[in-house]
Amino acid sequence: MSDSVSRGRGSADGSTGANGRNADPLGRIRPRGVVPTGRWTGMAALALLPVGLGVLLRHPPLLLVGALGVAFAAYARGDSAPDIDVTIERDLSDPTPDPGEEVTVTLRVRNEGDGVLPDLRLVDGVPAALATDAPARLGTALRPGRTATVSYRVTAIRGVHEWDPVHVLARNPSGSRERDARMDAGGATTLRCTPELEASASLPLRGLTTVYSGRVPTDVGGSGIEFHSTREYRHGDPAKRVNWARYARSGELSTLEFREERAATVVVCIDAREEAYLAPDAESPNAVERSVEAASQAVPALLDSGDRVGVAAFGPGDCRLDPGVGDDHAARARELLATHPALAPTPTDERFLPTTWVRRFRRWLPADAQVLFCTPLPDDYAATVARRLDAYGHAVTVISPDSTADDTPGHRLAGIERANRLSRLRSAGIRVIDWGEESLATELERAAARWSR
């Protein structure tokens, strides 16, 4: 499946790239400092040809052209690269936008030196996760004391996005040599986008509960709403639970038992491995983004119901929030989902050992915790983790964003493999929500109706 859908990794240096992302591959391969451009390589030898022909044919104009070429080649060879004495300022129209808002980025460069910069080029270090509406680059000539400006817009998405240093190139007048540098820009360098947590439809939880009152029906008789059974009356039972109808018929006292409703402890776990950064096409959000969206709806819905909620990421980095309740806990969950590096919109290069992660996750997971596993099921290991956690007694529910496509045979094969994983999980007794293009609330309501039959 991994080779049949688009990855959420950027690919362009300052311009919009694959999946609307940007990257700076040029910065990884170009040497820094003074670099010969190679533009006039071989020009001296080429200029000697008309000189020789001019001497041989005794043709003065041809001889003059050759002499000019040799002179220019000598000039280009001796021409040095200019010093880069500039200051760069960056300004963001809104450093804390909401998701989807467009932010105008203005980059200003000022020549602080005494000489003219005849060929100055800049490429801004746009964060890899942000898409731009135009190339974030500038090419200009700049006299001493003058300022040049370039503006572009980025579309805000969840996370903390730090701009990389600006890639600066300054060439000499002949274009034979250039000075290559990375320079930090003054002003705003960070864009922080923290979406609000919005509850969707109530999540249908499984029967694993805590001792605290909540909304999850149990098989234990006691106080509640749904009728469970009747038992012999005991001294001290409340009068409202006495079966007065039976007392009227037979004169015997009995007490009504209702199905107790208790709270649950739920850990929302997001598959954030590199394998999970999948999207059906370049313009769609990847599966990790959709999983974070699902968690952002599930966490407030569970907290509103009185359940204890924790958050974790199945991926590189130690991303865990212990189960808790309350407004402060909701704020911490919101901050983690929005800004934790392990849940970044693009994958990291950090090494990840899934077996070690599972072992540590089990030690951290409370014994009475259910797991809401958000994963696109990109491989068999994700399904194995779900089955293993469920076998250890943690009731697992899988929310699986569908990131497959059907435009090529490879994509269709990846879709079939994912469907088989979903089927095997259901056969193992694990609840699975196959989240397609409809809203998550619609999928949850549909699943709740199916599971209640």
Measured between alpha carbons, how far is residue 297 from residues 270, 337, 443 in Å? 13, 11, 13
Which residues of 315-362 form beta strands (DSSP E)? 320-324
Whole-number pLDDT of residue 397: 93
- Given a contact cutoff of 8 angstroms between Cβ atoms, the answer to whether 367 and 180 are in contact is no
CA distance between the termini of the chain: 34
DSSP code at position 177: E
| Tens digits of residue pLDDT in 27-83 | 555 666 777 777 767 776 777 777 777 777 777 887 788 778 777 777 777 777 788
Whole-number pLDDT of residue 18: 36
Measured from the Cβ of residue 402, the count of other Cβ atoms closer than 10 Å reads 19
DSSP string, 17-64: -GGG--B-HHHHHS--EEEE--TTTTHHHHHHHHHHHHHHHT-HHHHH
Query: For the chain, how many helices (H) and strands (E)?
Result: 10, 22
Three-class SS state of 129: coil
Whole-number pLDDT of residue 145: 92
- Given a contact cutoff of 8 angstroms between Cβ atoms, the answer to whether 35 and 178 are in contact is yes
Per-residue pLDDT of the chain (453 residues; tens, 9 = 90+): 444 444 433 333 333 333 434 445 555 556 667 777 777 677 767 777 777 777 777 778 877 887 787 777 777 777 777 888 999 999 999 999 998 899 999 999 999 988 889 899 999 999 988 989 999 999 999 999 999 999 999 999 998 999 999 999 988 887 777 888 899 999 888 999 988 877 666 676 766 555 566 666 655 556 666 666 777 777 787 877 778 888 788 888 888 766 666 678 899 999 999 999 999 988 888 999 999 999 999 898 888 888 889 999 999 988 999 999 889 999 999 999 999 999 999 898 888 999 999 999 999 999 889 999 999 999 999 999 999 999 999 999 999 999 999 889 999 999 999 999 999 999 999 999 999 988 888 888 888 777 766
Whole-number pLDDT of residue 426: 94
Q: With the C-alpha atoms ordered 160, 162, 163, 164, is the resulting torsion angle positive or negative? A: negative
**Phi/psi of residue 33, nearest 5 degrees:** 95, -155
User: Quick one: angle between helices 327-339 and 287-304, nearest 10?
Assistant: 180
Q: What's this model's pTM, rounded to 2 decimal places?
A: 0.72
- Given a contact cutoff of 8 angstroms between Cβ atoms, the answer to whether 429 and 409 are in contact is no
Largest Cα–Cα distance in the chain? 138
* Residue whose tokens read 């994700």: 382
Measured between alpha carbons, how far is residue 410 from residues 4, 95, 404 in Å? 5, 41, 10
Helices (H), 270-408: 287-304, 327-339, 354-364, 380-391
Q: Is 213 exposed, middle or buried (0-12, 13-18, 19+ CB in 10 A)?
A: middle
Whole-number pLDDT of residue 1: 43
d(CA 206, CA 265): 11
User: 159: part of which helix (H) or strand (E)?
Assistant: strand 159-162
Q: Which residue type is seen at 59?
A: H
User: 335: part of which helix (H) or strand (E)?
Assistant: helix 327-339
Pairing type for strands 369-374 and 431-435 reads unpaired
Minimal CA–CA distance to 226: which of 238, 216, 236?
216
Task: Enter the tokens of residue 35.
Answer: 């670099």
Q: Which residue type is seen at 113?
A: G
Whole-number pLDDT of residue 59: 78
Whole-number pLDDT of residue 5: 45
Chain mean position to CA 97: 17
Chain mean position to CA 355: 23
The residues, any chain, with a CB within 8 Å of residue 241's CB and separated by 6 or more, are: 223, 255, 256, 257, 258
Pairing type for strands 159-162 and 254-262 reads unpaired
The residues, any chain, with a CB within 8 Å of residue 355's CB and separated by 6 or more, are: none
Whole-number pLDDT of residue 3: 41
Minimal CA–CA distance to 93: which of 149, 153, 137?
153
